[in-house]
Structure 1
Amino acid sequence: MTLIFAHRGSAGTHPENTMDAFMEAERVGADGIELDVQLTKDGEIVVIHDETVDRTTNGKGYIKDYHLRDLRKLHANYTFKKKFFNKQRIPTLNEVFDWMKDNSLICNIELKNSIMDYQGLEEKVIQLISKYDYSNRVVISSFNHYSIVACRRLDPSIEIAPLYSTGLYMPWVYAKSLGAKAIHPNQKVASDEIISESMKNGIAVRPYTVNKENQLNRLFNIGCSAIVTDYPEKAINMRADL
């Protein structure tokens, strides 16, 4: 069965990377959530996609220049198109992990360190996973492939997966060279052949961001390992109908 990961939580219907979005993913029956992590000025792991707070909050500036106490004052769903949600704060990874104690969701953590060089991000994330004993519930991904290899070296028990958005020759071979058990390609570069060959070679495939019905149908029909979508409820209903 193709697993369904909620991209930044249920980002199509709820403010991305907020606890509301993650709780909605759990409510609709998603198999997992995907989220993004960065470091504050005082070294705290926070869950937000962009390197700045400008797009999603009522603040301005880089995450790296904020202390956690000031970041938490911002309105994390300020720019979301629907205004009926309670004011949401930018969550910490610790907060998400606390909430995960009461469910069985898989958590795909994307390290947002391709643009910003967050010193110690890998170590801090690995330490928190160890603290909560979530090594069997977490996948670490990044466009920075050096970073995920560093994570594997820190703790080989945690699954890693390279993110990529352009064509990659024989990606299952590349994944194995990193010590990865999965690939996370943009769905546009994940052809049926690439998916089937990767899976035949023991490499799971979890394309992103799969929102359109024709895209979902294609991936469900070929038995893709998992998909990452902004609309997990729609995907779950479509999967059930097949």
Structure 2
Amino acid sequence: MTFILAHRGSAGTHPENTMESFIAAEKAGADGIELDVQLTADHEIVVIHDLTVDRTTNGSGYVHEFTFKELSKLKANYHSTHFFKKKCRIPALREVFTWLCSNSLLCNIELKNAVTRYRGMEKMVIDLIRDYGLEKRVILSSFNRQSLVHCLEINPDIQTALLYNEAFCRPWEYAGTLGASGLHPKLKCITDKDILASMEYGVAVRPYTVNKEKDMKRLFSINCSAIITDYPGRAYRLREQIQY
């Protein structure tokens, strides 16, 4: 069965990377959530995608320039009040983990360290995963190859996945050189043939961002490991129709 991972939560219907979006994803039938993490000025691990707060909040500036208390005062759905008027906050990763302890969802954490390197973030995230006992339910992904290798140096048992947005040959072999157990390609950057070859090689494939029904159907039909989608409810209903 193809798993459904909700991209930044149910980002197509709720403000991305907020608790409201993650809770909505669970209610929609997702098997897991995908989220992004960065570090604040006071070294709190926070859940936000962009390097700045400008696009998603009523603030301005780089995430790493704020303390967590300062970030918490921002309205995380400031630019999406047209479909979600309740004020949402930027959550700390520990808040998400506390909630995950009440369910059985998987969690794909993207380390946003390809541009801003956030020294020490890998260990901080892995230590928090261990503290909450979520080692078997978390996948760490990044565009930063060195970061993935470092994660495995810290904990060889952690699941890692290579993010990429340009097509290349035999991606499963490259994943193997990094010790990564998964591939997270941009949807257009991988063929069905390479998806099947990767899975046969023992490497999970979870393309992003799969929002069109025709793409969902195609990936469900080949039993792709998982899809990452903004619309987990749509994907869940379609998967149910196909299965039954």
TM-score exceeds 0.5: yes
Q: Are 2:15 and 2:84, in contact at CA under 8 Å, matched by a contact in 1?
A: no
The answer on 1:86 being equivalent to 2:89 is no
Match of residue 131 from structure 1? 131
1:152-191 equivalence runs, <5 A: 152-191=152-191
1:199-238 equivalence runs, <5 A: 199-238=199-238
Q: Are 2:77 and 2:84, in contact at CA under 8 Å, matched by a contact in 1?
A: no
Q: Deviations over 1:103-128 (max 9, x none)?
A: 00000000000111211110110110
Letter in 2 for 1:184: H
Q: Deviations over 1:156-177 (max 9, x none)?
A: 1110000001012111111111
- Name the CA distance, whole Å, in 2 between partners of 1:232 and 1:83: 17
Match of residue 194 from structure 1? 194
Q: Please, which moves more after superposition, 60-69 or 75-84?
A: 75-84
CA drift of 1:36 comes to 0.1
Q: Provide the secondary structure at the position in 2 that maps to 1:217.
A: helix
Match of residue 13 from structure 1? 13
Q: Provide the secondary structure at the position in 2 that maps to 1:58.
A: coil
TM-score by length of 1: 0.98
- Count the aligned residue pairs: 242
CA drift of 1:58 comes to 0.2
Q: Deviations over 1:188-226 (max 9, x none)?
A: 012011101001111110000000111111111111010
- Name the CA distance, whole Å, in 1 between partners of 2:84 and 2:123: 38
Pair 12,83 (structure 1): closer, same or farther in 2 beyond 3 Å: closer
- Name the CA distance, whole Å, in 2 between partners of 1:85 and 1:101: 28
Q: Deviations over 1:120-173 (max 9, x none)?
A: 110110110010111100000000011011011101111000000101211111
Letter in 1 for 2:162: P
Letter in 1 for 2:143: F
Question: What is the Cα-based RMSD across aligned positions, in Å?
Answer: 0.8
1:62-73 equivalence runs, <5 A: 62-73=62-73
Match of residue 109 from structure 2? 109
CA drift of 1:64 comes to 0.8
CA drift of 1:85 comes to 3.9
CA drift of 1:84 comes to 3.7
Match of residue 36 from structure 1? 36
1:49-64 equivalence runs, <5 A: 49-64=49-64
Q: Deviations over 1:49-79 (max 9, x none)?
A: 0000000000000001001110100000111
CA drift of 1:82 comes to 3.1
Match of residue 119 from structure 1? 119
Q: Provide the secondary structure at the position in 2 that maps to 1:79.
A: helix
Letter in 1 for 2:181: K
Q: Deviations over 1:1-46 (max 9, x none)?
A: 0000000000000000000000001111100000000000111100
Q: Are 2:4 and 2:226, in contact at CA under 8 Å, matched by a contact in 1?
A: yes
CA drift of 1:83 comes to 4.4
Letter in 1 for 2:77: N
Q: Provide the secondary structure at the position in 2 that maps to 1:35.
A: strand
- Name the CA distance, whole Å, in 2 between partners of 1:201 and 1:217: 23
Q: Please, which moves more after superposition, 79-88 or 157-166?
A: 79-88
Percentage of pairs with the same residue: 57
Q: Provide the secondary structure at the position in 2 that maps to 1:194.
A: helix
Letter in 2 for 1:139: I
- Name the CA distance, whole Å, in 2 between partners of 1:162 and 1:194: 15
